[in-house]
């Protein structure tokens, strides 16, 4: 499959697609749930809870950081992660707006 021609879509469509792509992996959702239920987490916390290799967890954290839904701070030799509340709220708004669209189609039956 070729690359997507993102320029033919609106900025909102591209943004939502990117967010959903990142959130579309169960490991990333598990990471977000774990962070949301704690003040902060370090990578090793995820390894112990989610049972994935440290390198795999690091890749998932990198993807979550790309959309800025999490942020990390260095504590000594460890990176601590927490939810970026502002971005969390923005993502909620974007997803809610998409699903609050009025549906014009009454029926899809043949």
- What whole-number distance in Å separates Cα of residue 74 and Cα of residue 81? 9
Output phi, psi for 103, to 5 deg. -95, 120
What is the predicted pLDDT for the residue at 48?
85
Q: For 66, left (φ over 0), alpha (ψ -120 to 50), or beta?
A: alpha
Confirm if 64 and 28 have CB atoms less than 8 A apart.
yes
| Distances, alpha carbon 19 to alpha carbons 4, 8, 24, 28, 106, in Å | 16, 18, 8, 12, 29
Q: Could you state, in chain order, the average pLDDT of each consecutive group of 10 residues for the chain (110 residues)?
A: 73 94 96 89 85 92 95 84 95 95 76
Q: Where are the domains of the chain?
A: 10-96
How many Cα atoms occupy the beta-carbon half-sphere of 95 within 13 Å? Answer: 11
Both structure tokens of 51: 């049972």
What CATH number was assigned to the domain covering residues 10-96?
1.10.10.10
What is the predicted pLDDT for the residue at 85?
95
Rounded (5°) CA angle 91-92-98:
90
User: pTM value?
Assistant: 0.83
What is the predicted pLDDT for the residue at 1?
42
């Amino acid at each position: 499959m070729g690359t997507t021609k993102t320029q033919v879509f609106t900025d909102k469509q591209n943004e939502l697609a990117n967010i959903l792509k990142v959130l579309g992996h169960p490991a990333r959702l598990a990471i977000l749930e774990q962070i949301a239920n704690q003040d902060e987490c370090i990578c090793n916390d995820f390894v112990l809870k989610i049972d994935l290799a440290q390198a795999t967890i690091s890749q998932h954290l990198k993807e979550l950081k790309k959309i800025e839904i999490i942020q990390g701070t260095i504590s000594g030799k460890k990176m601590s992660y927490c939810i970026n509340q502002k971005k969390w709220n923005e993502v909620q708004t974007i997803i809610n707006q998409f699903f609050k669209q009025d549906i014009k189609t009454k029926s899809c039956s043949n």
